[in-house]
Structure 1
Amino acid sequence: TEGIMREFDRGYSEVTFSKIAVAVQPQEAIIHKEYHLCSADPNLVGLDHCRPVGFTNYDVADQLADVGMEAIHPKASKPLEINAIDLRIKNTFEPEHPGTLITRDYVAPEKHVEVITGTDKVVMIDIYDPLMVGAAGFDLHLMQAFFDLNVSYIFKATSANSISLLIWQKDLKPQLIKELEAKYEKITVENSSMVCLIGSNIDQPGLLARAAGALAEAGVNIRSAGFALRKVNIQFIIAREEYKAAIMALNAAMG
């Protein structure tokens, strides 16, 4: 137990819970939290403007964990997912509520955004170098610097001659910036925030336009944006001070 506590800190109880579930092999494992897994942060949008998420999948849970909104510690969820054990997240203070059921294969029957979330505790590092144009594997050496200093990124965007990476504020190390500045022509660091539209079935025409329009109407400038082909998570990078306004605008627009 001491070793698990040292490695996983506050997540040790969930990792222990996961190990027991894998050993017992139940159809469903239930974990109790102090809050519901909601469609948006009630502290930002208000209780009347969000709702508990009834069903989702482990893919969505991964996306949430990546921005710090952990339904369950990722080191605890992986064994459950691999062993096809469903996970139910329940609110301790509402024991009669069914909570959120997380399964491996769930896909929402109708296209909609399940969770609007993000973080304002990140920084964007932009690496510009004209030698990048057409060069094969240029970012291999860039990634080596991040690897050597144990820095992980949560967003990446590229152009012909620049690469933008989003990392946690706590992981911004002077040594990392020093190494990058020694190798590449120009390094820019900006305090940032990221807002995300996440769901198991969000691939639909016009969603990106609707989200961008909502941010524009709220006066929020999109600094960068992206999503993978599978479209489980659409990410917008914005100024740190615009985080709350962006969450509220997207929550209102997604209904």
Structure 2
Amino acid sequence: ADQLADVGMEAIHPKASKPLERAGINLRIKNTFDPLHPGTLITKDYVGKESKIEIITGSDKVVVIEIHDASMVGQVGFDFEIMKIFKEHHVSYIMKATNANSISLVIWENELSEDLVRGLEREFETVRVEYMAVVFLIGSNIAKPGVLAKAATVLAEKGINIHCISQSLRQVNMQFVIERDLYTEAVISLNRELCFNNRWVN
């Protein structure tokens, strides 16, 4: 439920899922247009019997802010300095990807402001803003070799380049940043191959 709320799913308020999890209360999502369907039950400790991508969602209303600074290498607290500026402007990021001297942060487009960008530019060497889309794949028992590769292959076969990628150690979801005009094609292709065709289910 946390993952769904994080991507702005309107059925679950971002602050509503956490109390349910802490209290051990399960959440069932129903389809308004198919009320007899049992829906999807979200529980705290559920692990599927097989690897399966269950939800593919995202948004084409995000921007990527890339901060590049040669002095970042080995510097303790570099991220903290960025977060201080984000906090000052009341902005929370959806996703983060890093390398030795760059940090890319994905935020909602409606939270982008000139003041935020100027604040970052005053402190860091290079700040770049790109209007992009982000695709989220949420699943069960996907902490297995090949799951990420197969999802990326679906996009590659459609000629869709992945600009940033993120997956935490828990491996309950993966996130791809792609070109905005390819968002719909990406979601349809991933759903078709990974959810409906079960192309790679073990």
TM-score using structure 1 length: 0.73
The answer to whether structure 1 residue 96 and structure 2 residue 39 are counterparts is: no
Structure 1 stretches of 5 or more lacking a match?
Answer: 1-60
What is the one-letter code of the residue matched to 1:151?
A: V
SS, match of residue 165 in structure 1: strand
User: C-alpha displacement at 1:206, in angstroms?
Assistant: 1.1
User: C-alpha displacement at 1:229, in angstroms?
Assistant: 0.7
SS, match of residue 190 in structure 2: helix
The match for 1:239 is 179
Contact 1:125/1:189, CA 8 A, preserved across alignment = yes
The match for 2:118 is 178
User: C-alpha displacement at 1:112, in angstroms?
Assistant: 0.7
Contact 2:86/2:116, CA 8 A, preserved across alignment = yes
What is the one-letter code of the residue matched to 1:178?
A: R
- In structure 2, relative to structure 1, the CA distance for the partners of 1:92 and 1:115 (3 Å cut) is closer
Moved over 6 A (4+): none
SS, match of residue 96 in structure 1: coil
SS, match of residue 161 in structure 2: coil
SS, match of residue 113 in structure 1: strand
What is the one-letter code of the residue matched to 1:91?
A: N
Report how many aligned residue pairs link the two structures.
Answer: 195
- Alignment match of 1:230 (pick from 149, 165, 170): 170
Contact 1:155/1:165, CA 8 A, preserved across alignment = yes
Which of these two proteins has the greater Rg computed from alpha carbons?
1
What is the one-letter code of the residue matched to 1:186?
A: T
The match for 2:73 is 133
The match for 1:167 is 107
- Alignment match of 2:91 (pick from 117, 138, 151): 151
For residues 116 and 191 of structure 1, the distance between their equivalents in structure 2, rounded to whole angstroms, comes to: 20
The answer to whether structure 1 residue 202 and structure 2 residue 142 are counterparts is: yes
1:194-244 Cα deviation digits (max 9, x unpaired): 112111311121111111111111111111111001101111111111101
For residues 32 and 58 of structure 2, the distance between their equivalents in structure 1, rounded to whole angstroms, comes to: 24
The match for 1:142 is 82
Contact 1:146/1:176, CA 8 A, preserved across alignment = yes
What is the one-letter code of the residue matched to 1:177?
A: V
The match for 1:17 is none
1:30-83 Cα deviation digits (max 9, x unpaired): xxxxxxxxxxxxxxxxxxxxxxxxxxxxxxx11111111244223222222211
What is the one-letter code of the residue matched to 1:121?
A: K
The match for 1:218 is 158
For residues 32 and 180 of structure 2, the distance between their equivalents in structure 1, rounded to whole angstroms, comes to: 33
The answer to whether structure 1 residue 248 and structure 2 residue 188 are counterparts is: yes
Contact 2:54/2:138, CA 8 A, preserved across alignment = yes
For residues 76 and 157 of structure 1, the distance between their equivalents in structure 2, rounded to whole angstroms, comes to: 27
User: C-alpha displacement at 1:89, in angstroms?
Assistant: 2.4
1:84-132 Cα deviation digits (max 9, x unpaired): 1222222344332212222222111211111111111100000011111
Q: Kindly indicate which of the two structures has a greater share of residues assigned to helix.
A: 1
RMSD of aligned residue pairs (Cα, Å): 1.3
SS, match of residue 213 in structure 1: helix
What is the one-letter code of the residue matched to 2:166?
A: G
The match for 2:200 is none
The answer to whether structure 1 residue 120 and structure 2 residue 120 are counterparts is: no
For residues 161 and 16 of structure 2, the distance between their equivalents in structure 1, rounded to whole angstroms, comes to: 37
The answer to whether structure 1 residue 191 and structure 2 residue 131 are counterparts is: yes
The match for 1:68 is 8
For residues 32 and 178 of structure 2, the distance between their equivalents in structure 1, rounded to whole angstroms, comes to: 35
What is the one-letter code of the residue matched to 1:74?
A: P
Structure 2 stretches of 5 or more lacking a match?
Answer: 198-202
Higher RCO structure, 1 or 2 (CA under 8 Å, sep 6+): 2
For residues 47 and 150 of structure 2, the distance between their equivalents in structure 1, rounded to whole angstroms, comes to: 22
Quick one: percent identity of the two aligned structures?
58
